[in-house]
Amino acid sequence: MAKQLPDLKFSQLINISFGFFGVQIAYALQSANISRIFATLGADPHSLSFFWLLPPIMGMIVQPLVGKYSDRTWTRFGRRIPYLFIGAIVAILVMCFLPNAGSLGLSVGQAMVFGAVMLMLLDTSINMAMQPFKMMVGDMVNEKQKTTAYSIQSFLCNAGSVVGFLFPFLFATFGISGTAPTGVVPDTVKFAFYIGAAILILCVIYTSIMVKEYPPKEYNEYHPVDPKEHEEKEPGMLELLKKAPSTFWTVGLVQFFCWAAFMYMWTYTNGTVAHGAFDAPTKITEAGAVVLDTASQQYQDAGNWVGILFAVQAIGSVFWATIIPRFKSNKVAYTVSLIMGGIGFISTYFIHSQYGLFASFLLIGAAWAAMLALPFTIFTNSLKGGHVGTYLGLFNCTICVPQIIAAAIGGLILKVFFTKPGVLAPEVDMLVLAGVLLILGSLAVWLIKDHE
């Protein structure tokens, strides 16, 4: 019979997830600035979503592999921490190169390719650094404290997001240039990535020093493996998928609607805010398309303001995360949160004040809080045996696949259903679509069986 994992001190629960703060700063900088960076390099709205294909594709490849191989890794530095440290080192290097894609004397096409490769490496490394935190909670925290542990992780996630989102705006406030020549990323964004990289490595070093993972013998006392698993051939990922609990698939369906919605938020908020709230000027490209002038002061001011809005979303998420545990039912909490987020997205169609958008993004934050906490709580409670890391890596595919699909068809949806020839693409319509997707997700919640 398995020994019960001991209760951990509150400080120990914080130490396990502390590095997540730095990783989330990197993720927030990517989320808030990638569309801005590629639009600045010369991409038009209909091609922006294609650049967003890279992050979820890399996440879908990397996170299951990190889960699978870290399940078998035992070193004097730990089981999950080596993957965390390697991912962080690569991330900080890429964060110093990515915002300079337009400053290397490359042509527009070459800068796009360079930026795309850097984005691919950045998301690979962020995924590699992010996954171990979720796994260490599963390895080291008992069922009684797991909700607290994931709540701490959610808080650190949102705190890191706020910092990352605010950096460009704060640097502009301090007098760092927020504009640059056509095709060049402003210094406010560059400095945000540099400082974010420094914080990331400091946070990861702290977690690596403070957290001591269980050695193999002690780990196996808490997580005994069925003897039959040793007698049988090591199951592949497809075999494990066949044996996955039903929560994997039902929560995954909800995840599909949620993450597709947020993919459209990350892709199209910059253009929506620049046009709707800042009246950014337009220009006509050589191909005859009407696009926003990314070199204009209004566009770059809007880009900084998007960081503020995303920070408001994160603050709303922190607040709503304290409300979620008060619901007697996870399903009710999940449903209400997603409906609130859907209303927030749809409201951006009607609100053209930069301050009025605070209300929209506070509501969106409620959905984000639920997405961070409830899926992993429901799913990990249904897991047993020796493949927890692999299953968590596979579960990450329920985050990646909807983003891939949404990014692949986003430009087509915008072009076919919303764009008229010779007219600026109405990116706000994609945020309305995001709201509809969240409401569909709230309905799918009721297919989940959360007790197995």
For 212-265, the pLDDT digits (tens) are: 888 888 887 877 765 554 445 556 666 766 766 677 788 889 999 999 999 999
For 76-115, the pLDDT digits (tens) are: 777 888 888 888 899 999 999 888 888 888 888 888 888 8
Adjacent-strand bridge partners of 291: 283
Closest C-alpha to 228, from 44, 386, 60:
386
| Residue with the two structure tokens 């191989």 | 69
Q: Is the pLDDT of residue 69 over 80?
A: no
Interatomic CA distance for residues 396 and 31, integer angstroms:
17
Pick the most confident of 58-62, 278-282, 356-360.
356-360
For 410-427, the pLDDT digits (tens) are: 988 998 888 787 888 899
Interatomic CA distance for residues 304 and 246, integer angstroms:
42
**How does DSSP assign 414-441, residue by residue?**
IIIII--TTS---THHHHHHHHHHHHHH
- Beta-carbon contacts of residue 14 (< 8 Å; ≥ 6 apart): 152, 156
| Residue with the two structure tokens 């991330």 | 91
Closest C-alpha to 335, from 450, 245, 432, 246:
450
Residue-averaged pLDDT of the chain: 85
**H helix or E strand, kind and range, residue 283:** strand 282-284
Angle at 319 between CA 316 and CA 322, to 5 degrees: 145
Residues in the chain: 452
Query: What 3-state DSSP class applies to 355?
Result: coil
Q: Give pLDDT, residue 81.
A: 85
Q: Give pLDDT, residue 347.
A: 97
**H helix or E strand, kind and range, residue 291:** strand 290-292
Q: Give pLDDT, residue 195.
A: 95
213 token code pair = 């993972």
182 and 76 Cβ atoms separated by less than 8 Å: no
How far out from the chain centre does Cα 296 lie? Answer: 29
Burial (CB < 10 A; 0-12, 13-18, 19+), residue 396, is buried
284 and 290 Cβ atoms separated by less than 8 Å: yes
What's the pLDDT band for 191 if we cut at 50, 70, 90? very high
Global pTM reads 0.76
Interatomic CA distance for residues 29 and 34, integer angstroms:
8
Q: Is the pLDDT of residue 451 over 50?
A: yes
Name which of 129-133, 272-276, 313-317, 364-368 the model is least confident about: 129-133
Cα 31 to Cα 309, 357, 397, distances in angstroms: 12, 18, 18
What's the pLDDT band for 388 if we cut at 50, 70, 90? low
188 and 172 Cβ atoms separated by less than 8 Å: yes
Q: Give pLDDT, residue 227.
A: 52
CATH classification code of 10-212+240-447 = 1.20.1250.20
Q: Please state, as a whole number, how many other Cβ atoms lie within 10 Å of the Cβ of residue 297.
A: 13
Angle at 342 between CA 340 and CA 344, to 5 degrees: 70
